[in-house]
Amino acid sequence: MLTPAELAIGVGIAVGVAACAAGAQSPFATRVVEYAPAPGQFVQSSQYNDPSRALGPPGMAGGLSAGDNAKVVTLGGFGGTITLGFDHSIWANPHNPMGLDFIVFGNAFFVGGDVNRRWAESGVVEVSRDDNHNGLADDAWYLIPGSHLATTPPTPPPPPPLRTTVMWDSAMLNPAWVPPGRSGAWTTSGYLLPASPFGSNPLLQNTGGGASEQVWGYADLAPTLLLGDTTASNVVDDPDADPARFYTVPDDPMTVGITPGSGGGSAFAIGWAVDETTGLPVSPPLDRIDFVRITTGVHGTTSLLGEVSTEVSAVADVRARYTADWDRNGLLEVADIFAFLNSWFAGIGENGGADFNESGAVTVQDIFDFLNAWFAG
């Protein structure tokens, strides 16, 4: 077996190679590209209609049984939408926990603390990659179909999900529900989630007592944990938790409850995206995205609580979990070293693809830190 010194000599040529430098990046959305709420009871409230509330970390005081409304922006009724951008690309990083790449936070909560009963005003998520590199969200959009818009491709393939358009007329609405700047008639559009189980009641229930979530892949589905609640027990056990680290660990969206160690929220994989014209998985799969669009996916109102409206408090880039098992086969082998060096020299991916020490840049130090971890076992 090679010694650390021999390996260091073997990679010494890397000292002269330019590092894939990256500036200090925010793990959260940093800019609002578009905000166009649909009619709703809070769209004229300054507490809820400020789209900048979706930037930075989520509200930190909600917890499992109570949504935090202090830092949310409302999208209003069906078709209300917000598009967010970042100061970096979000990569489909194979080192991300559970293969999940980004998290959308809202104000969903478990009713009475029952993990099988969620108050969740579901939003449909779309993603786009800045292929023309102009910083604008004017390239192709792709749909995250989730559990209830998916099209499993038999032969022949099923038709793709279709967008629904709703006409609004300010003359027919409660004046307090008309979004600022709107008058006369206009339309909103989006992907309408099916009446069952969504309907006009935001209460979603898992039936049958199993461990698997029956609804997943939509925004505003899962609670945002209290900052520092590392055990998902609604108790802060780490009062010094850093939001940039705590809220970048995803919950398992397929499993009932919140994964301990995560910050909650609704997690997504870029690989779930489908072509909106065919409903089939994007081919080749997207390697990264630059924009996330969230749209209220339910068209309905309740006499007590008004319209079903998705709320958004943050979108986060999932933090990769790098280990010395670089090829992720469960074994520490020499092959891991060569796999890591291949990633390092390729310089492709999140922060250059081999930012082992999470410094925000790929440097020679990543090689030595990786080797130290590999030899330590």
Residue 24 pLDDT > 80: no
Task: Collapse the DSSP code of 251 into the 3-class scheme (helix H, G, I; strand E, B; otherwise coil) and give the result.
Answer: coil
Cβ within 8 Å of residue 180, ≥6 positions away: 43, 44, 49
- Token output for 195: 């009446």
Rounded Cα distance, 111 and 194, in Å: 22
| Segment 158-176 mean pLDDT | 91
Starting at the edge strand found earlier in the chain, the sheet holding 102-105 runs 266-268, 102-105, 314-317
**Predicted confidence band of residue 60 (pLDDT cuts 50, 70, 90):** confident
Rounded Cα distance, 264 and 136, in Å: 30
Q: What percent of the chain has pLDDT over 70?
A: 91
| pTM check: above 0.85 | yes
Rounded Cα distance, 177 and 174, in Å: 5
Residue 199 pLDDT > 90: no
Rounded Cα distance, 299 and 184, in Å: 20
| Segment 195-215 mean pLDDT | 88
**Predicted confidence band of residue 61 (pLDDT cuts 50, 70, 90):** confident
pLDDT tens figures, 125-161: 999 999 999 999 999 999 999 999 976 666 666 678 8
What is the per-residue burial (b if ≥16 Cβ within 10 Å, else e) of 62-75? Answer: bbbebbbbebbbbb
Rounded Cα distance, 196 and 173, in Å: 27
Residue 16 pLDDT > 80: no
**Predicted confidence band of residue 62 (pLDDT cuts 50, 70, 90):** confident
pLDDT tens figures, 68-105: 888 999 999 999 999 999 999 999 999 999 999 999 99
Q: What is the model's pLDDT at position 230?
A: 95
Rounded Cα distance, 256 and 107, in Å: 17
| Segment 228-241 mean pLDDT | 94
Residue 5 pLDDT > 90: no
Phi and psi torsions of 14, nearest 5°: -65, -20
Contact 66, 60 (CB under 8 A): no
pLDDT tens figures, 104-115: 999 999 999 899
Rounded Cα distance, 272 and 241, in Å: 30
Rounded Cα distance, 257 and 211, in Å: 9
Residue 344 pLDDT > 60: yes
Q: What is the model's pLDDT at position 151?
A: 65
Q: What is the model's pLDDT at position 202?
A: 87
Among all chains, which residue has been given the structure tokens 């938790």? 241
| Segment 19-34 mean pLDDT | 78
